[in-house]
Amino acid sequence: MQSFIVMQGQTYQEEKELGMIWSREQDSGGSLPHSWLRVMEVNEGDRIFHYVKGDIVAISVATSDCQAARRPSSKPHDAEWEGNGYLVELDYHELEVPVNVRSKFDVILPLLPIKYSPFQADANGNQGYLYPCNEELSIKLLELISDSNIYQVDEEQLELAIGTVRQTERNTFIPMLAETETEVKTKIRLGKQKFRQGLLPLWAQKCALCDIELPELLRASYSKPWKDSTDFERVDPSNGVLLCCNHHALYENGLIAFDGQGRLHISSQIPEEDYEKYGIRPKMKIARNEKNKPFYKWHKRNVFKG
């Protein structure tokens, strides 16, 4: 199962009524924008978050794979929608309480990918139509939706319990959210398990920097984070290094990095007098192979806080 974020704006109401999303085959200049072409990646069962004017207003389930089709429109003479395109049929679940992205941006921003992010750094939506939504971002959006739209009955509201339970039983929205969250978390868990299993033997099952061998203290550290990686890169042991929990935290937060030769680089945010405290020194070097090289360089360029 994949997740996406669709930027609909003025097209939302009509596309909801028609139970679909649709993109043109190409723009007026004959180009294929990535956000239009991405509709072709949607398969039956995928989830789509619907963004309209600053809010996540609905979540839908794809009831078909993407198919080539002209747009079924209530505006058949609208030139904007003429021509061939790509269509996905959806089962829309509109939120009673939309999630305002700007008000929650402090928890959304760290989960946005560097490439193909649906949102800008100022919390505005990017131009385009359909964007990928990585699993970590999906879970956060599901949590925000649940917090706003699912109400728990406590002991002080028992007199309302029967009515609330009946409403919940009729509601397909809550089971859909629960199923989505379970599938997404399972994908992350299995992917990270496979990544760790592949990483352990490459580093002789010990920290690359300090040789700690206690399994409970070892972390499979990504060079290119989950949010920025392809499905293959997420399980590729070349995309990482085995570190103890302390060095993992430094690496994950960009306070240390490795170059293409495996040499350690230390952020200026760490005072030199603290190097010994953290078990690091400028001339340290770790083993690496050619497959590690592009991932180390990506991390140093995009995550490292020099």
Range 17-26 average pLDDT? 90
Residue 172 neighbours by CB distance under 10 Å: 10
User: Does residue 3 surpass a pLDDT of 70?
Assistant: yes
Higher pLDDT, 4 or 32: 4
| Mean pLDDT in residue range 179-188 | 95
What average pLDDT is seen over the chain?
Answer: 90
- Lowest-pLDDT range, 11-25, 49-63, 147-161? 147-161
Angle of CA points 178, 180, 181, to nearest 5°:
65
Residue 225 has pLDDT above 60, yes or no: yes
**Sorting pLDDT into bands at 50, 70 and 90, what band is 82?**
low
Q: Based on the domain organization, do 141 and 211 belong to the same domain?
A: no
Same domain, 136 and 207: no
In this structure, of 58-62, 151-155, 268-272, 295-299, the range with the lowest mean pLDDT score is 151-155
Q: What CATH number is given to the structural domain containing 120?
A: 3.10.590.10
For residues 145 and 31, membership in a common domain is answered with: yes
User: 67-70 and 264-266: which strand pairing?
Assistant: unpaired
Mean pLDDT along residues 50-70: 95
pLDDT tens digits, one per residue of 99-119: 999 999 999 999 999 999 999
* pLDDT of 159 higher than 60: no
pLDDT value of position 72 = 79
Please check the confidence at residue 240 and state whether its pLDDT lies above 70. Answer: yes
Residue 265 lies in a domain: yes
174 located within any domain: no
Same domain, 133 and 236: no
Residue 41 shares a structural domain with residue 144: yes
Based on the fold, state whether residues 137 and 219 are members of the same structural domain: no
Domain boundary among 112, 127, 149: 149
- Residues 21, 104 within the same domain: yes
Residue 274 located in a structural domain: yes
pLDDT at position 160 over 70: no
70 and 142 inside one domain: yes
In-domain check, residue 27: yes
Please give the residue range of the domain that contains residue 72.
3-149
Residue 161: inside a domain, yes or no? no
119 and 252 fall within a common domain = no
Q: What is the pLDDT of residues 260-282, one digit of tens each?
A: 899 999 999 999 999 999 999 98
Total domains in the fold of the chain = 2
Do 210 and 144 fall within a single domain?
A: no
Q: What is the pLDDT of residue 79?
A: 54
